[in-house]
Amino acid sequence: MKIALAKLKRLLRDDIGATAIEYALIASLLSVVIIGSVVAINGSMVDIYERIRSYIVPALEGSAPPGEG
């Protein structure tokens, strides 16, 4: 009986699981922030890549870039 009571007291004082849960919450919060920022800048990145493409494709085809011809 004493052994069971001692194990129960030790189990109640154990906080290793709480630390793991805290790290999991921090990781999930960071992932939400990263996903939110990627979604927020997605539209502007598409515009930038389209503008770069509008200069690269004519250069590869040997024609004038936009606005010069």
Between CA 19 and CA 8 the distance in angstroms is: 20
66 within a domain of the structure (yes/no):
no
27 within a domain of the structure (yes/no):
yes
10 within a domain of the structure (yes/no):
yes
6 within a domain of the structure (yes/no):
yes
Q: 34 is in which domain, residue-wise?
A: 2-61
Domain count along the chain: 1
Q: Residues 51, 53, 58, CA angle at the centre, nearest 5°?
A: 115
56 within a domain of the structure (yes/no):
yes
* Per-residue pLDDT reduced to its tens digit, 44-59: 888 889 999 999 998 8
69 within a domain of the structure (yes/no):
no
* Per-residue pLDDT reduced to its tens digit, 7-62: 777 877 777 777 888 899 999 999 999 999 988 888 788 888 999 999 999 888 88
Between CA 39 and CA 33 the distance in angstroms is: 10
37 within a domain of the structure (yes/no):
yes
Contact in structure between 65 and 58 (CB atoms under 8 Å): yes
Q: What tokens appear for 40 in the block? A: 């927020």
